[in-house]
Amino acid sequence: MTLALTLIGVDFTSAPRPAKPITVALGRLESDTVVLQQLEKLADWPAFESLLARPGPWLGAFDFPFGLPREAVVDLGWPTTWPELVRHCAGMGKTAFRAALDAYRETRPMGKRYVHRVTDLPARSHSPLKLVNPPVGLMFLEGAPRLLAAGLSVPGVHAADPHRLAVEAYPGLLARSITTESYKSDDKRKQTPERRVARVRIVDAICADRSAAGLALEATQTQQAALIDDASGDSLDAVLALLQAAACALAGAPHYGLPPDFDPLEGWIAGA
C-alpha cells in the first residue's frame, strides 16, 4: 500500500497569486528512495482546492499550522475540538480573526505574547498566533478550513477519507539538519550567492540521504537545477515537505510517525 501512495509536499502561502504561488512537489516511494516526479505551481485557491480533491490514495505534507495553541484557545473561549475550532475561525473571517489575536496578545506579558503549541518547541517553529513575518496565523486560517472542507483525514486529529491523508510539514526543520545557513528569500535584494550555496548544499545532501528524513531523493539534473535556481526557496521547501510526507508514509498507520499522545487540538509537525 505504501508504495502505491502518491506523495505530495506543499509549500504554502496565505495569499496565492502568479508572483507567489503555492508550490507542490509530487513523488513516489521506491524502497527508501523518494522519486521526484514533478513540481506544480498553484496560483489561486481553486487550484489548491482541486489538488485536495484529487482521488487517493495519497499522503500530503503541508507547510502551515493545522492547529492553534490549546492555552490560547481556552483563554479565548473558542471550541476545543479541531473541526469545531476550524469552523469557528473560518466563520469569523480574516478581519475578526486578526483582531481577536491582536487583542489576545495584548493581554499577555511582554516576552510571552506569542503562545506556542507543544510541537512548536522541538520544531523551533513560529507560534500560530503570529500574523506577520511570517503570517502563520493567516496560513492556518486559509489552510485548515480547506483541509476540513475537502474531507481529508488528518492522522490523530480528524478521521474522514482514509485514502487522502494530510500531515503538517515544516521544511525548515529538515533543512536545519543539513545547514543552519539561510537558503532563501522572497526579497530579490537578498537572493545572494551565499544563499545559493546553501541550497546546493541542501540539494546535494537530500540526494545523498544525508538529512534527518532518512530517505534519499531521486531527481534529474534538470530538477536539481530547478530547486537550486529558485531563489525564493519555494520549490526546495516543497521537496523537503515531500520527504517529510515520505517518512510519514513509511512509518504507516495509525500514527504515521507522529507521537501517539499529541494534542489533537494543536496537531503535530512531522519529524518534530
CA dist., res. 176 & res. 35, Å (int): 22
Is pLDDT above 60 for 135? yes
Write b or e for each residue in 150-162: b if 16 or more Cβ atoms lie within 10 A of its Cβ, otherwise e: bebbbbbbbebee
Is pLDDT above 70 for 3? no
Is pLDDT above 60 for 2? no
Cβ(80)–Cβ(73) below 8 Å? yes
Confidence of residue 1 (pLDDT cuts 50, 70, 90): very low
Is pLDDT above 90 for 209? no
Mean pLDDT to the nearest integer, 251-255: 94
Q: Which residue has the higher pLDDT, 116 or 209?
A: 116
User: What is the sign of the dihedral through the CA atoms of 178, 120, 95 and 141?
Assistant: positive
pLDDT in tens, 122-132: 999 999 999 99
pLDDT in tens, 67-86: 999 999 999 999 999 999 99
Q: In the prediction, which pLDDT does 36 show? A: 98
What's the mean per-residue pLDDT of the chain?
Answer: 95
Is pLDDT above 70 for 118? yes
pLDDT in tens, 14-57: 999 999 999 999 999 998 899 999 999 999 999 999 999 999 99
Confidence of residue 153 (pLDDT cuts 50, 70, 90): very high
Q: In the prediction, which pLDDT does 203 show? A: 97
Of all residues in the chain, what percent are helix, strand and coil, respectively (each to 5)?
A: 40, 20, 40
